Amino acid sequence: QKPEPLPPQMPFPSFFKLPNINQLVYAGSIALGASIVGTVFTVAHHRWQLNREKKHIQIPGEMVVLECGTKVFVHQTNPGAKQAVVIINGFAANYLLAKKWQTLISNKVSLGHERVNVVIYDRPGYGFSDPLASTPKDFYAMATDLEELLGKVLPQDTEVHILAASMGSLIAWCFVQQIQSEKPENQCVKVRTVFSVDPPFLKNARQINRDMGLMGAVVAKIRYLYEWGFMRWLWMIGLFSPQPEQKDIPENEKHLHSAAVWRYLKGRRGGYFTTFAVEGHLMTSVDWNGVEKALVHLGEQKEAKTHVLLHEQWMPGMQAQYQSEWKERAENIQKHLGQGRTTFLPETNHMHFVEHPEELVEQYEKFLVPKQGGAV
């Protein structure tokens, strides 16, 4: 018996047919051409926008040239004062983030009979400062830049009070150890107090450091996309134009907070993404033993009064592994500094004082100007 013939196969619809080589080449040529045109257009638009912004943006401070040739932005409230509060920003932050702290401290805190000089600077790659001239090897390299900067903008023997947030605390600790290892006559300033806000002393935090390493790698890729032109295109259509709360900005400062300025501060010449990637990598490859030595030095010496505020969480709703490692970080800091020089703030997270600057200044004023003893 002959087998029954197979039924005829139904042909695929035309849109299921695999393209032939000529069609692939044609589609690829169109995609490549569109990419080249888009890249050239966005790069040209970026350059035009930079020139336009330079004409309209008034930098609200001064640009200081370091020995490496990098121009660093600095803003002071009372230049020439004998006592200065130096604010060291955290990871991926610039002048605008700490501007409220500067204003509140300048208005509320006085040491002796003179208004204190509140100083903010933008690390290279952020804000108004130039992009990185070279990759910092560790936090001591950043401390060296800070020492040179303060030596140029503050009078000799100025008494300095450091207010450092997040990663800025690690820079502050290294700065104090570094400057106090020099001969007194070579010290550009005298550090009187160090106030750290939630430092990420993550020496033993394996999960957080691993995830930060992944974040640094991802942002490094974003950096290359930016320099290629794709991120500029996203910026141009408004997908990456963060806006501060307009109601919180004084009327005479609103020219600093437009979308164009935020684009300038975050995106010019790829500096922001470059630095973000570098510092993200630095947090994962840092010499934690060196940072620990700086913290031990801070805990042992009596010349500079020290206090650390510690938040309960890094970010709201973080996973249990993060929670335990963040708590262990607080215990390590308390072990080196002593219970009396740390304050643990329950039910708060790492961004608490960005959202509530008045509370930070209240805590800082209690530390800097104790009621019972007058000024520090």
pLDDT at 376 over 90: no
Cα distance between residue 224 and residue 287, in whole Å: 27
3-state secondary structure of 376: coil
50-54, 93-97, 197-201, 273-277: range with highest mean pLDDT:
197-201
> What is the predicted pLDDT for the residue at 2?
65
Query: Averaged over 168-187, what is the pLDDT?
Result: 87
Give 263's pLDDT tier (boundaries 50, 70, 90).
very low
Cα distance between residue 100 and residue 357, in whole Å: 7
Query: Averaged over 334-339, what is the pLDDT?
Result: 80
CB 180 within 8 A of CB 301: yes
| Beta-strand relationship, 114-115 and 110-111 | antiparallel
> What is the predicted pLDDT for the residue at 372?
44
Cα distance between residue 196 and residue 310, in whole Å: 9
Query: Averaged over 280-297, what is the pLDDT?
Result: 82
Query: Averaged over 32-57, what is the pLDDT?
Result: 72
Cα distance between residue 143 and residue 170, in whole Å: 9
14 Cβ neighbours under 8 A, 6+ residues apart: none
Kindly tell me the sign of the dihedral angle through the C-alpha atoms of 155, 156, 158, 163: positive
> What is the predicted pLDDT for the residue at 19?
73
> What is the predicted pLDDT for the residue at 118?
96
Cα distance between residue 77 and residue 96, in whole Å: 14
pLDDT at 37 over 70: yes
CA distances from 345 to 97, 295, 310, 325, 353 (A): 21, 20, 6, 16, 11
Query: Averaged over 53-58, what is the pLDDT?
Result: 63
Query: Averaged over 107-123, what is the pLDDT?
Result: 87
> What is the predicted pLDDT for the residue at 316?
66
> What is the predicted pLDDT for the residue at 245?
43
Query: Averaged over 48-69, what is the pLDDT?
Result: 76
> What is the predicted pLDDT for the residue at 104?
92
Cα distance between residue 310 and residue 348, in whole Å: 9
| Beta-strand relationship, 305-311 and 189-197 | parallel
Of residues 335 and 207, more confidently modeled? 335
Mean pLDDT of the chain: 76
User: How many residues are listed for the chain in this entry?
Assistant: 376
CB 126 within 8 A of CB 96: no
Query: Averaged over 153-176, what is the pLDDT?
Result: 93
Counting other chains too, the contacts that 105-113 makes at CB distance below 8 Å and 24 or more residues apart are 105/163, 105/361, 105/364, 105/365, 106/77, 106/78, 108/361, 108/365, 109/85, 109/361, 109/364, 109/365, 109/368, 109/369, 110/369, 110/375, 111/83, 111/161, 111/368, 111/369, 111/375, 111/376, 112/83, 112/375
Query: Among 45-59, 168-182, 266-280, whose mean pLDDT is lowest?
Result: 266-280
Cα distance between residue 93 and residue 89, in whole Å: 6
Give 331's pLDDT tier (boundaries 50, 70, 90).
confident
Q: Which burial class, exposed, middle or buried, applies to 29 when counting CB atoms under 10 A from its CB (0-12, 13-18, 19+)?
A: exposed
What percentage of the chain reaches a pLDDT higher than 70?
Answer: 67
Of residues 195 and 39, more confidently modeled? 195
pLDDT at 368 over 70: yes
CB 264 within 8 A of CB 53: yes
Question: Which of 185, 179, 99 is CA-nearest to residue 146?
Answer: 179
> What is the predicted pLDDT for the residue at 373?
45
> What is the predicted pLDDT for the residue at 247?
47
pLDDT at 261 over 60: no
> What is the predicted pLDDT for the residue at 259?
41
Give 159's pLDDT tier (boundaries 50, 70, 90).
very high
Of residues 119 and 276, more confidently modeled? 119
What percentage of the chain reaches a pLDDT higher than 90?
Answer: 27
Cα distance between residue 4 and residue 7, in whole Å: 9
CA 313, distance to chain mean position in Å, is 19
Question: Which of 161, 198, 191 is CA-nearest to residue 369?
Answer: 161
3-state secondary structure of 349: coil
pLDDT tens digit string along 299-329? Answer: 887 778 899 999 888 776 666 667 888 888 8
CA distances from 88 to 173, 237, 374 (A): 11, 33, 25
> What is the predicted pLDDT for the residue at 358?
92
Query: Averaged over 190-212, what is the pLDDT?
Result: 84
CB atoms inside a 10 Å sphere around CB 170: 31
Of residues 245 and 157, more confidently modeled? 157
Cα distance between residue 308 and residue 252, in whole Å: 34
Query: Averaged over 213-240, what is the pLDDT?
Result: 53
Give 126's pLDDT tier (boundaries 50, 70, 90).
confident
Q: Which burial class, exposed, middle or buried, applies to 141 when counting CB atoms under 10 A from its CB (0-12, 13-18, 19+)?
A: middle
* Phi then psi dihedrals of residue 213, to 5 deg: -65, -40
Of residues 150 and 127, more confidently modeled? 150
